[in-house]
Amino acid sequence: DAGVIQSPRHEVTEMGQEVTLRCKPISGHNSLFWYRQTMMRGLELLIYFNNNVPIDDSGMPEDRFSAKMPNASFSTLKIQPSEPRDSAVYFCASSFTGKLFFGSGTQLSVL
């Protein structure tokens, strides 16, 4: 299996632009998680899905952030409009039995 696949690996954008991050979980995994990592706040859980249904989005920082999982093999995290404080590494992870597997992350820089 190719593991959890995220794209793009790096994204540089200007403040106010829309940003879309993509994730393909490991085939057969039924839980998907979006995390954000910053120096100040460490690894924060933003939202997680179970069987494509959002279960808990209490970690989403504000209404500018949204996430979807239209099917079992694809999820997106969208930021609109983006702000410099959104700069971070965004990780997607998936799980079936509880053991979590991470993608390589998307390094987002908002100028």
Partner 1 sequence: GIQVEQSPPDLILQEGANSTLRCNFSDSVNNLQWFHQNPWGQLINLFYIPSGTKQNGRLSATTVATERYSLLYISSSQTTDSGVYFCAVESQGGGYNKLIFGAGTRLAVHP
Q: How far apart are CA 65 and CA 3, in angstroms?
A: 25
Q: Is 12 in the site for partner 1 (CB under 8 A)?
A: no
Q: Residue 99 interacts with partner 1 (CB under 8 A)?
A: yes
Taking the C-alpha atoms of residue 57 and residue 65, their distance in angstroms, rounded to an integer, is 10
Cβ 17 to partner 1 shortest distance, Å: 24
Which residue among 34, 65, 90, 91 contacts partner 1 (CB under 8 A)?
Answer: 91
Q: What tokens appear for 103 in the block?
A: 């993608």
CA-based nearest residue to 80, from 100, 65, 98, 70:
65
22, 87, 89, 109: which one binds partner 1 (CB under 8 A): 89
How do strand 106-110 and strand 10-13 relate by DSSP bridges? parallel
Residues 15-54 as x/- pattern, contact with partner 1 by CB under 8 A: ----------------x-x-x------xx-x--x-x----
Strand order through the sheet with 74-79: 5-7, 19-24, 74-79, 65-71
Residues in contact with partner 1 by CB under 8 A are 31, 33, 35, 42-43, 45, 48, 50, 55-56, 89, 91, 93, 95, 97-102, 104-105, 107
